[in-house]
């Protein structure tokens, strides 16, 4: 299949990175979000990230400008997907929201258009069942930050066709990524393994076994992880971690996946990590320095 026009739905942490990578590789991208301010912020973020690539001589100033000119924005799903060969949905991790979005995409996207979701954990089979083209629905799970991370976890729903899987595998390679195909069970592979580790780190803090920096240092220096689990949770977004753990908990019916009460409290209090300015650490806009949140001292 020949994919040229890509619509990305959701211009948050992941959506702006996905739009960036497709645009940099020559695709025409329509970035869609219900929130116009979020679209402006996303374009500004892509610009800043491209500036960093220019400064490191990874791309030229001309390539930066071409990349930016490959992206347009839209606040309407119906309008923004009507010429798409591929739609990549990267909206908030919420099942009913995603089912509603996929019904809208299915009604407006051309026949033959592939519908992908960047969901971290929600069943691709369930999302596909909300459409009239389940064989064209697939998981295309990019990692954060998208321009840097090599992996794309490809999730085959129950009805996903082999042709669609092969197209998405080849497309991921064209983006300079390494695709890895897995089957559709709660959390797939990446989050089925990562989230219990993050939850256990939060439990260790909650139970007073160690402080934020100690937990992260043990995992960084002891296990050679580039980032500790609490800092990683802040980067992913604590609301996203909470939602994924809920999907694992409900999907497997096993109490070991229940989100730690401290994580539940932090999400309720709006402490969502980097995107809200505070999680386990405090992040000051424009500063690289981060310090442990007062809440745990
Ligand atoms: P985010 O909260 O940063 O952004 C979500 C965006 O979706 C927001 O801009 C919001 O305005 C938009 N949105 C909400 N409802 C919408 C609608 N009806 N139509 C269009 N846009 C809508 O979330 P995120 O961290 O970018 O996560 C997006 C998806 O990517 C989720 O499914 C998440 O599980 C997945 N994911 C996240 C990460 C991560 O590290 N954050 C990594 C991999 C996958």
Q: What's the CA gap between 199 and 257, in Å, rounded?
A: 8
What distance in angstroms lies between residue 128's CA and the mean position of ligand 1's atoms?
18
Task: Count how many Cα atoms sit within 13 Å of the Cα of residue 251 in the half-sphere of its side chain.
Answer: 21
Query: pLDDT at residue 191 above 80?
Result: yes
Does any ligand 1 atom lie closer than 6 A to the CB of residue 34? yes
Which mutation among 20, 81, 91 tests ligand 1's pocket best, with the greatest number of atoms within 8 A of CB? 91
Residue at which a domain ends, from 136, 162, 183: 183
Q: How far is the CA of 246 from the centre of ligand 1 (A)?
A: 16
27 shares its domain with 169: yes
Ligand 1 atom nearest the C-alpha of 15 is 26
117 lines ligand 1 (CB under 6 A): no
Tell whether ligand 1 has an atom less than 6 A from the beta carbon of residue 38: yes
Atom of ligand 1 nearest to the CA of 14: 26
**Is pLDDT of 290 > 90?**
no
Ligand 1 centroid, distance to 127 Cα (angstroms)? 15
Say if residue 178 is in the same domain as residue 196: no
For residues 142 and 236, state if they share a domain: no
Query: Residue 13 above 80 pLDDT?
Result: yes
Give yes or no: residues 74 and 205 share one domain: no
For 71-106, write each residue's pLDDT tens digit: 999 999 999 999 999 999 999 989 999 999 999 999
Domain-ending residue, one of 129, 162, 183: 183
Which residue in the block uniquely carries the two structure tokens 């689990």? 229
CATH number of the domain enclosing 13: 3.40.50.720
The alpha carbon of 15 and the centre of ligand 1 are apart by a number of angstroms equal to 7
Please state the three-class secondary structure of 131-171 as a single string: CCCHHHEEEEEECCCCCCCCEEEEEECCCCCHHHHHHHHHH
CATH of the domain at 263: 1.10.1040.10
| Judgement on whether residues 240 and 178 belong to the same structural domain of the protein | no
Separation of alpha carbons 82 and 75, rounded Å: 13
How does residue 296 score in pLDDT terms, banded at 50, 70 and 90? Answer: low
Question: Is residue 198 within 8 Å of residue 229, measured between CB atoms?
Answer: yes
- For residues 247 and 266, give the distance between their C-alpha atoms in angstroms, rounded to a whole number: 18
User: 55-74 pLDDT, tens per residue?
Assistant: 999 999 999 999 999 999 99
Is the same domain home to 137 and 276?
no
Choosing from 162, 183, 204, the residue where a domain stops is 183
Using the mean position of ligand 1's atoms as its centre, give its distance from the Cα of residue 37 in Å.
Answer: 15
Q: Are residues 283 and 239 in the same domain?
A: yes
198 lines ligand 1 (CB under 6 A): no
201 lies in the same domain as 156: no
Counted domains in the chain: 2
Which of 101, 240, 244 should be mutated for ligand 1, with most atoms under 8 A from CB? 240
Burial class from Cβ neighbours inside 10 Å (0-12, 13-18, 19+) for residue 6 reads buried
Query: Which residues are catalytically annotated?
Result: 120, 141, 153, 191
Confidence of residue 289 (pLDDT cuts 50, 70, 90): confident
Question: Ligand 1 within 6 A of 70 CB?
Answer: no
Cα 227 to Cα 246: distance, rounded to the nearest angstrom = 24
Residue 137 inside a domain? The answer is yes
Q: Are 210 and 141 part of one and the same domain?
A: no
Same domain, 197 and 178: no
Atom of ligand 1 nearest to the CA of 244: 34
Whether 131 and 201 share a structural domain: no
Reported pTM: 0.92
Q: Answer yes or no: is pLDDT of 284 > 60.
A: yes
Ligand 1 atom at minimal distance to the Cα of residue 100: 18
Q: Is residue 227 part of a domain?
A: yes
Asked if 174 and 200 sit in the same domain, the reply is no
Q: Answer yes or no: is 297 within a domain.
A: no
The boundaries of the domain holding residue 29 are: 5-183
């Amino acid at each position: 299949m020949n994919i040229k026009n890509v619509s990305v739905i959701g211009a948050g942490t992941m959506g702006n990175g996905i739009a960036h990578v497709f645009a940099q590789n020559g695709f025409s991208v329509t970035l869609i979000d219900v929130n116009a301010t979020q679209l402006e912020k996303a374009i500004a973020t892509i610009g800043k990230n491209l500036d960093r690539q220019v400064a490191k001589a990874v791309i030229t100033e001309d390539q930066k400008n071409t990349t930016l000119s490959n992206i347009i924005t839209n606040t309407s799903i119906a309008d923004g997907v009507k010429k798409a060969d591929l739609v990549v949905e990267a909206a908030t991790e919420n099942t009913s929201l995603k089912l509603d979005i996929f019904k809208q995409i299915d009604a407006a996207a051309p026949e033959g258009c592939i519908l992908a979701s960047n969901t971290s954990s929600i069943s691709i089979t369930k999302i596909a069942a909300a459409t009239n083209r389940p064989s064209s629905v697939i998981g295309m799970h990019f990692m954060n930050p998208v321009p840097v991370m090599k992996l794309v976890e490809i999730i085959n729903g129950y009805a996903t066709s082999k042709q669609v899987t092969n197209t998405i595998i080849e497309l991921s390679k064209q983006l300079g990524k390494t695709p890895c195909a897995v089957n559709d069970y709660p959390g797939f592979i990446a989050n089925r393994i990562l989230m219990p580790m993050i939850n256990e780190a939060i439990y260790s803090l909650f139970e007073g076994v160690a402080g934020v920096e100690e937990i992260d240092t043990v995992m960084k220096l002891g296990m050679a992880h580039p980032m500790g689990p609490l800092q990683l949770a802040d980067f992913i977004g604590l609301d996203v971690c909470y939602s994924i753990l809920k999907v694992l908990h409900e999907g497997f019916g096993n109490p070991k996946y229940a989100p730690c009460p401290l994580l539940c409290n932090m999400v309720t209090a709006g402490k969502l990590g980097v995107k809200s300015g505070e999680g386990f650490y405090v992040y000051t806009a424009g500063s690289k320095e981060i310090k442990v949140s007062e809440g745990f001292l």
